[in-house]
Structure 1
Amino acid sequence: MAEVVAGQGDTKLERVVTSGTFSLDGGTWDVDNNVWIVGDDAQCIVVDAAHTAAPILEAIGDRKVVAVLSTHGHDDHITAVREVAQATGAPTYLHPADRMLWDRVHDVAPDRELADGDRFEVGEVHLEVIHTPGHSPGAVCFRIPELGAVLTGDTLFQGGPGATGRSFSSYDTITASIRTKLFALPADTVVFTGHGDSTTIGEEAAGQDGWERPEGA
């Protein structure tokens, strides 16, 4: 079931939570993921089609899907991407630096590549791509200025940076991405994350002195 978390005019940001597993480096963990749908009654964009397509397609309804975007290539965030894209006819997008992760899940390449500064328009808002490597090399965030929001995937959470203890990740890189790119956004920007609860840029910037480098990161 979709939950409306922000909106402007006829355009709204909705959250759908799906459940499944995340696997990397020989381990597998149970996870709940936030799937984001932004748009109006006519068209929308899907961000991070995770785990299961059915609840995502139910939330989309009969709207035209402009694009299926992925914040990064970890399997829990992209498992349902192709099924959603095939059902809606929408193109899929991923930053090319995460192709090695995508290729572990899908045997067909993404339709198009994401790059820093790309812009997607839907309804009365637009999404701006911010390349924020660290959690993975091709991790990106999507800023929605009209909603005062940013979709951060697994780059920034309530309490600090995303995980960096696994392959293809770097603590120094993710913290640099957050401090130079995300903390440059207005302090009242709401951070909608890939898992769990939302926060704000201001709250996380204020708490950055308490960040601790994870063991092995």
Structure 2
Amino acid sequence: MLDRVITSGTFSLDGGTWDVDNNVWLVGDAREVVVIDAAHDAEAIARRVGGRQVRAIVCTHGHNDHINAAAELSRRTGSPIRLHPDDQVLWDQVYGSDVAYEPLADGEKIEVGGIELRVLHTPGHSPGAVCLHAPEAGALFSGDTLFKGGPGATGRSYSSFDTIIESIKKRLLVLPPETVVHTGHGDSTSIGVEAPHLDEWIARGH
């Protein structure tokens, strides 16, 4: 079972602020879910969760627009927040030491509702960016690492274009081409649609 809540708010970094719409993904079954990227509106996310148990709130990275509802949702549901520790510097900008999370590790497997989510560390958009691969479901939750039309932005602090390209090339484009890519913003795509454009992205990025 896959569900999406679109929430709206702002993304702030390096002194700038931008309006954004975020995809919040719920993965699981009728009894339990994992929430991927609790953005902006804990109330809206909790309504969609309903009476199901939230096994974890998984953050694909630490930018404020992907974590700013995580603490409130955690308080409502009693569920742990999960984040790769390489994004500690971004976490601290939002929560400091007031809110704790449990560290994610590359290769870790998260089970929910009969679905296995495999954690892929894909730095570049941020140092601790991860994607979640559900091989049996043929799905990838890419956060801001890969979008319809190319890689995530790397023009701000703690990001690297060369690193995100390496992550996409070695960790994502090797997945089956039919894998559906559910992104942090905007429309979904697939590995097969995006893979042929790698060289174009490299040329454009440099």
> Where does residue 146 of structure 2 map in the other structure?
156
Offset at 1:26? 0.7
Q: Distance in 2 between matches of 1:112 and 1:159?
A: 32
> Where does residue 49 of structure 1 map in the other structure?
38
- Structure 1 gap ranges (5+): 1-11
Q: Deviations over 1:70-122 (max 9, x none)?
A: 00000000000010111000011100000110111113243310010011101
Q: Distance in 2 between matches of 1:134 and 1:213?
A: 16
**Is 2:80 aligned against 1:91?**
yes
> Where does residue 127 of structure 1 map in the other structure?
117
Aligned length: 204
1:162-177 correspondence to structure 2 within 5 Å = 162-177=152-167
**One-letter identity of the residue aligned with 1:117:** G
Q: Distance in 2 between matches of 1:150 and 1:86?
A: 27
Percent identity for Structure 1 against Structure 2? 59
RMSD of equivalent CA atoms: 1.0
- Structure 2 gap ranges (5+): none
Contact 1:94/1:110, CA 8 A, preserved across alignment = no
| TM norm structure 1 | 0.92
> Where does residue 75 of structure 1 map in the other structure?
64
Q: Distance in 2 between matches of 1:110 and 1:160?
A: 33
Change in Cα spacing, 1:213 to 1:25, as seen in structure 2 (3 Å) is farther
| TM norm structure 2 | 0.96
> Where does residue 205 of structure 1 map in the other structure?
195
The structure richer in helix per residue is 2
Q: Distance in 1 between matches of 2:5 and 2:45?
A: 7
Offset at 1:214? 4.1
**Is 2:14 aligned against 1:30?**
no
From 174, 183, 189, the equivalent of 1:184 is 174
Q: Distance in 1 between matches of 2:130 and 2:204?
A: 21
Structure 1 residue runs of 4+, over 3 Å off? 212-215
